[in-house]
Amino acid sequence: MDTVSFRNTDITGGFWKKKQEIIGNVSIYNILKRFTETGRFGAMDCKWKIGEPNEPHIFWDSDIAKWIESVSYIIEKEPHSELEKIIDDVADKMEKNRLENGYFNCCYIAKNPDKRWTDRTDHELYCAGHLIEAAAAYYRATGKRKLLDIMEKYTDYIYKVFVEDKSAEFVTPGHEEIELALVKLYDLTGKEKYLDLCRFFIDSRGVTDEREYNGVGHKYSQSHLPVREQTTAEGHSVRAAYLYSAMADLAKRINDKKLFSACETIFDDIINKKMYITGGIGSAARGEAFTVPYDLPNLTAYSESCAALALAWFAGRMTMLDCDSKYADTVERVLYNNGLSSVSLDGKSFFYVNPLEIRTELLERNTSQENTIENLPITQRREVFDCSCCPPNITRFIASVADFIYTVDENTVYVHQYINSETKTERFIIKQNTDYPNDGKIAVTVENAEIIALRIPYWCENFDIKLNGEKADYEIKKGYAYIELKSDKNEILLNIEITPRIVYPSRKVRDCIGRAAVQRGPVVYCAEGVDNDFSVISFKLSSEPCFKTEFSEQFGTYVITVNGTVPIAGEKLYSFEPEKRMEAKIKLIPYFAFANRGETDMEVYLLC
């Protein structure tokens, strides 16, 4: 099964078109501005001297690279000479300032080029990986080779240092990323050497006796076991999900069943024990990491934006190996929740951390106890962070969101995501007309396919399917409805009932005991203080909830009102009387839109 690249698809309207417009018209310019002001673009001159402002950071290259990659995806659809000029300028600087052997890292070259490859924790390979992805994307978008040539020469040098000479002071990257980038470079160039290098890094992880990362143990960088023996998601969650994505990529390219099986076992561990309802992963701030199963606190949820995006990339790759809806369901969970909460509705600012609860009265804890481990997440998005990995990751994710829609094989089209769009591959022409997720009606026309497989989302209770106006015959396999197509051109109407539903988390999730969330289709909801004149944490859902929905232009989807009760004021700290409650209605908004109207309380899980 092959993926259908976003390059083959135009998103022609609806929910994601608007999101892409905001990314293309606002976010990439705002990030450009903030990355310029903070010295990131200037650092590509590699001239920084001690005492000067804007000291380059070990992964500034990756910030620039992800911005280039995002822009490449956008200009591939709509050329833009000024943006190209900025990228060409970066390529010129890299060409001028790289070392003779091809090495480039703006921080090392400015500060200590002779120390290169001495510190596994120092992100050189992570930066190289992002630059490779950027170079491949820019070449595909424009046909310009300079950046690609620079990165091919650099990759050849990395191959020499790590595989041939073994002259670096470590064997595998402390932060995975280059592995999946090497697969992209291999796919673009067809050069086996790049796949071999990816395989070298993946096969060596957890095998060689590398020193512990910052004293936090081998699990932090997934180096505790050879990858094919790993069964649980461990350590820093972005590192982990990038590695798992690359493992899935490699498993597909070399048809490695053991590697695929490790990916599936780890994936199941994530979605069954370590993932938030929003698709967030890495619940602990300490180490930005996975912790033990079911340890999913709401107030202190870390849930880094990059980690959720990486989970979607991992899941998307797994879809190519096995058409089981658990993968595309997970992509969808990220898409409409943690993926989108990462960026403000106006596209200007970003969350790095995505909590599931905000209690403004507790913020004092942050200011009165500086330097404690348990800092509460910030409550408002920011335009840039000192560590600003998330903003340009979100832009490249949304710009290429159509990557997630289809996979195909010789005669079958598999539809994983429902997005209003038009697609042309060498063989198939496919169109989707839909207002999903606001509405569950999806009209798909497909030409030249013999079978179409439609994902029936995990949250769906009722659906029907028509083929060319008649009730369709279908067979459900692993969450997909398979329909045989008898004509060359077919119209399929999938109608999925979308109504608000209550989601009860496992009682093993300590923070959620006695609480439940509300979900409408794939969209998870939350309550904000600004909409409700009582404390949202004390609202209790009725046992016979009556949902009312109303479309909100501001959020681009529905808001929900539901009935329940709130405590009558005046409770004592301790009392021999049970709490008295009165009827109330609570307004819920999509989780992805929280914190767009000033600092206010927020709850995903309501008492039930």
Nearer to ligand FUB among residue 309 and residue 586 (C-beta):
309
* Alpha carbon distance 462, 496 (integer Å): 6
The entry of ligand FUB, Zn ion, none that residue 61 binds, CB within 5 to 8 Å by partner kind: none
| Segment 198 to 257, residues that bind Zn ion, using CB under 5 A | none
> Contacts with Zn ion: how many residues (CB under 5 A)?
3
Query: Closest separation between CB of residue 387 and ligand FUB, Å?
Result: 5
Nearer to ligand FUB among residue 242 and residue 474 (C-beta):
242
The one segment of 190-198, 306-314, 408-416, 582-590 that binds Zn ion by CB under 5 A: 306-314
Burial class from Cβ neighbours inside 10 Å (0-12, 13-18, 19+) for residue 488 reads exposed
Q: Which residues contact 354 (CB under 8 A, 6 or more apart)?
A: 278, 280, 301, 303, 304, 305, 308, 338, 341, 342, 377
Among 59, 104, 138, 314, binds ligand FUB (CB under 6 A): 59
Query: Closest separation between CB of residue 472 and ligand FUB, Å?
Result: 44
Nearer to Zn ion among residue 289 and residue 390 (C-beta):
390
The answer to the question of residue 15 lying near ligand FUB (CB under 6 A) is no
Query: Closest separation between CB of residue 370 and ligand FUB, Å?
Result: 21
Query: Closest separation between CB of residue 524 and ligand FUB, Å?
Result: 23
* Alpha carbon distance 439, 437 (integer Å): 5
Backbone angles phi, psi at 108, to 5 degrees: -65, -40
Nearer to ligand FUB among residue 352 and residue 428 (C-beta):
352
Bin 214: left if φ > 0, else alpha if -120 < ψ < 50, else beta.
left
* Alpha carbon distance 70, 284 (integer Å): 28
Distance of CA 492 to the CA centre of its chain: 30
Residue pair 512/323 in contact by the 8 Å Cβ criterion: no
The entry of Zn ion, ligand FUB, none that residue 387 binds, CB within 5 to 8 Å by partner kind: ligand FUB
Nearer to ligand FUB among residue 120 and residue 515 (C-beta):
120
Nearer to Zn ion among residue 389 and residue 485 (C-beta):
389
Query: Closest separation between CB of residue 374 and ligand FUB, Å?
Result: 18
Strand intervals (E) in 232-286: none
The answer to the question of residue 384 lying near Zn ion (CB under 5 A) is no
The half-sphere exposure of 600 on its side-chain side, counting CA atoms within 13 A, is 19
Nearer to Zn ion among residue 110 and residue 241 (C-beta):
241
Q: Which residue is nearest to ligand FUB (CB)?
A: 238
Query: Closest separation between CB of residue 350 and Zn ion, Å?
Result: 9
The answer to the question of residue 271 lying near Zn ion (CB under 5 A) is no
The answer to the question of residue 286 lying near ligand FUB (CB under 6 A) is no
DSSP result, 539-605 = -EE-SS---EEEEETTTTEEEEEEEEEEEPS---SS-SSPPPEEEEEEEEEEGGGTTSSSS--EESS
Query: Closest separation between CB of residue 283 and ligand FUB, Å?
Result: 13
The entry of Zn ion, ligand FUB, none that residue 65 binds, CB within 5 to 8 Å by partner kind: none
Nearer to ligand FUB among residue 269 and residue 304 (C-beta):
304
The answer to the question of residue 389 lying near Zn ion (CB under 5 A) is yes
The answer to the question of residue 304 lying near ligand FUB (CB under 6 A) is yes
Nearer to Zn ion among residue 66 and residue 416 (C-beta):
66
Nearer to Zn ion among residue 389 and residue 537 (C-beta):
389
* Alpha carbon distance 587, 529 (integer Å): 9
Query: Closest separation between CB of residue 447 and Zn ion, Å?
Result: 40
The answer to the question of residue 306 lying near Zn ion (CB under 5 A) is yes
Residue pair 134/62 in contact by the 8 Å Cβ criterion: no
Q: Residue 56: is the preceding peptide bond cis (ω within 30°)?
A: no
Query: Closest separation between CB of residue 288 and ligand FUB, Å?
Result: 5
Q: Which residues contact 341 (CB under 8 A, 6 or more apart)?
A: 278, 351, 354, 591, 592, 593, 594
Nearer to ligand FUB among residue 214 and residue 499 (C-beta):
214
The answer to the question of residue 584 lying near ligand FUB (CB under 6 A) is no
Query: Closest separation between CB of residue 328 and Zn ion, Å?
Result: 23
The answer to the question of residue 306 lying near ligand FUB (CB under 6 A) is yes
The half-sphere exposure of 276 on its side-chain side, counting CA atoms within 13 A, is 37
Which of 442, 499, 452 is closest to 475 using CA atoms? Answer: 452
The one segment of 226-234, 304-312, 403-411, 478-486 that binds Zn ion by CB under 5 A: 304-312
DSSP 510: G
The answer to the question of residue 310 lying near Zn ion (CB under 5 A) is no
Among 57, 66, 98, 175, binds ligand FUB (CB under 6 A): 175
Query: Closest separation between CB of residue 304 and ligand FUB, Å?
Result: 5
In 26-145, where does DSSP find H-type helix? 28-37, 60-77, 81-97, 106-111, 124-142
CA-to-CA separations, 429 to 170, 197, 242, 444, 566, in angstroms, rounded: 48, 36, 32, 10, 53
Burial class from Cβ neighbours inside 10 Å (0-12, 13-18, 19+) for residue 172 reads buried
Which of 360, 300, 309 is closest to 331 using CA atoms? Answer: 309
Residue pair 414/328 in contact by the 8 Å Cβ criterion: no
The answer to the question of residue 343 lying near Zn ion (CB under 5 A) is no
* Alpha carbon distance 484, 109 (integer Å): 59
Q: Which residues contact 570 (CB under 8 A, 6 or more apart)?
A: none
Query: Closest separation between CB of residue 306 and Zn ion, Å?
Result: 3
Query: Closest separation between CB of residue 261 and ligand FUB, Å?
Result: 26
The answer to the question of residue 238 lying near ligand FUB (CB under 6 A) is yes
The entry of ligand FUB, Zn ion, none that residue 288 binds, CB within 5 to 8 Å by partner kind: ligand FUB
The span from the first CA to the last CA of the chain, in angstroms, equals 43
The entry of ligand FUB, Zn ion, none that residue 252 binds, CB within 5 to 8 Å by partner kind: none
Q: Which residues bind ligand FUB (CB under 6 A)?
A: 59, 175, 238, 288, 304, 306, 387, 389
Residues that bind Zn ion (CB under 5 A): 306, 389-390
